[in-house]
A and B are shown apart, each in its own frame.
Chain A
Amino acid sequence: MFSVASCFREAQLQPVVVFLEKLLRSKPVIWTLLILPGLWPLWPLLVTRSPAAGADPLKLILHHLGFIACVLLATVLTFTPLRVLFPRWGVAFALNRHRRLVGVASFAYALLHLTAYLMHEGGFRTLIHDAFEQPKFFIVAGLVAFTILLVLAVTSVNALIRRLGGRRWKNLHRLVYVAAALAVYHQIYARKLFPVQVLWIFGPLGLLEIARVIRQQQTAGGRVKPAG
């Protein structure tokens, strides 16, 4: 069967793959990968002191935190299809050990994004106005997505995973796909024109999901022959 790992092996890349696997298994590496991108706005704000960034620093931070929340959400969702599609690829396996951490990090960025929003746009009064009094759909979508991520993060502590039990926990956590869809909508309507970045954040995930569905239908078709 086709496997990415065997491709790499043929290309004499095995040492690289092994190194990558090791790297990705390491918690400190993953933590660094999760935290470092969030600090990026400090560069233009504090180091290069670019006037374009300093003009409205909180807005820059607000956008950036939302952006990282979306990237992490899209990233964590690729882990399962990667494992299904490339079952013997060590990298996919290594990544799947960090599903909870990356998922919770996405929530943490969404929480910081919401905090920046509250600081930037006039606090809870504005949130209540824009979400309930005169609802703006993109804000409502953000709020619902955030609430879902909150519930999923809270139910990701070991005690609650055990309390809920495998099946119920799994069903609940399927809501993450709803959150992702809402985040896509939210991100698109945050802008005056269509933001192309949405395509490269969520495009790869979309392709992987399609490939996974096809693969799962093939294997299911192989096991249970449909009648007729």
Chain B
Amino acid sequence: MLIRSPKSWEISASTVTPEALYHARPRREFLRTLGVGLAGAALARPGALFGATAGFPSKENPLYPAAKLKPTAEEYVTVYNNFYEFGTGKDEPKVNANKGWKTDPWTIELAGLVNQPAKFDVNDLVKKIGGLEERIYRFRCVEAWSMVIPWDGFPLAKLVALADPKPEAKYLKLTSFNDPKSAIGQRQGNLEYPYVEGLRLDEATHELAFMATGLFGKPLPNQNGAPIRLVTPWKYGFKNIKSVVKIEFTATQPKNTWQAMAANEYGFYANVNPKVDHPRWSQASEQIIGGGFFASRQATLMFNGYEKEVASLYKGLDLAKNF
């Protein structure tokens, strides 16, 4: 099997550091914070207006601990978003994705060249997978800024194992939602929708590839791609497709949305690489979001600091051509 044993990373709840600021608050409390008491009562599942709530609190994965990386302040992570479905301004998604767009209930489909095609409710999927773990990852946007984000989720490899790909399957094509009625950016047609991303199968089963349903110990806010999104920390942010509805296993390389928009600027791989410039700016350094006025720029690391883990995936590949 392609899958390395992710089970060995799981740890008991007792090692979770409760004093960490961002750690899971009881579900009722965060729902109250969101002020959805009344609206929630009208729904089939009371309280759950959006996001996938199953699996919280998550367990910290000690391989990706908070101690090593200091997370960006939550107020920045949840307001500084590229989610063109809800507008191109950084702070637009927070407003526009919370005007009635429903992310619960949500179905995600496994399809294509697999032995076990299936459709799952996201909450059921989390339970089936066996709960959530927390990982602190660096996040590097192609626009040369970066954050550190504590995600809650599960390895994509577990989802791939559920689907049980056929031998011909070489790639994953991930598709986001298409709902122009709820998404102003889709009505405007600022990109081609639905948003599509892709991974090679060996990238998807790499231990770092992650499906997140939460951040800061809580279900994903809508603007961060609720209820389920991809996180590949060694790749530029646009690779991390939000609000996924379908994962299709294919024999040929899928064309991702930004590559279709401008193939000379955005490639299929989108691996973070300080030595390969974007045609319009250098990728050698990055702005630290929330870092203030001074000394808030740092050198960008090869594969965003995950070189040791992922470099072997790209042996022999010309990274300047396959950007």
Contacts and interface: CB of A to CB of B under 8 A. Distances in A.
Contacts of A136: 277, 279-281
A51 B297 contact: no
Nearest to A122: B285
A56 B90 CA distance: 11
A126 B79 CA distance: 28
B282 interface: yes
* Chain B: interface size category: 20 to 34
A47 to B, nearest CB: 16
A53 to B, nearest CB: 8
Interface residues of A, number: 24
Contact of B282 (A56, A57, A129): A129
B190 A55 contact: no
Interface string B49-80: 00000000000000000000000010110011
A56 B287 contact: yes
Contacts of B144: 121
B290 interface: yes
Contacts of B277: 134, 136
Interface string B283-301: 0110101101100110000
Interface in B77-100: 79-80, 84, 88, 90-91, 94
Contact of A58 (B281, B285, B293): B293
A59 B287 CA distance: 9
Nearest to A58: B293
Interface string A171-209: 000000000000000000110110000000000000000
A122 B279 contact: no
A79 interface: no
Interface string A88-123: 000000000000000000000000000000001110
Given A129-B282, A189-B280, A56 B293 contact: no
B190 to A, nearest CB: 6
Interface string A55-74: 11111000000000000000
B279 A55 contact: no
B145 A193 contact: no
Nearest to B89: A52
Given A59-B287, A120-B287, A193-B190, A52 B282 contact: no
Given A129-B282, A136-B280, A193-B190, A51 B75 contact: yes
Given A56-B145, A136-B280, A51 B285 contact: no
A52 B80 contact: yes
Nearest to A134: B277
A21 interface: no
B281 A130 contact: yes
14 contacts: A51-B79, A51-B80, A52-B79, A52-B91, A54-B76, A55-B80, A56-B287, A59-B287, A121-B144, A121-B281, A121-B297, A122-B297, A130-B282, A193-B88
Given A51-B76, A52-B91, A139-B281, 20 more contacts: A50-B91, A52-B94, A55-B76, A55-B90, A55-B289, A56-B80, A56-B289, A58-B296, A121-B281, A121-B282, A126-B284, A126-B285, A136-B279, A136-B280, A136-B281, A137-B280, A138-B280, A139-B280, A193-B84, A193-B190
* The 6 nearest A-B residue pairs measured at CB: A52-B91, A55-B80, A51-B75, A55-B76, A51-B79, A55-B289
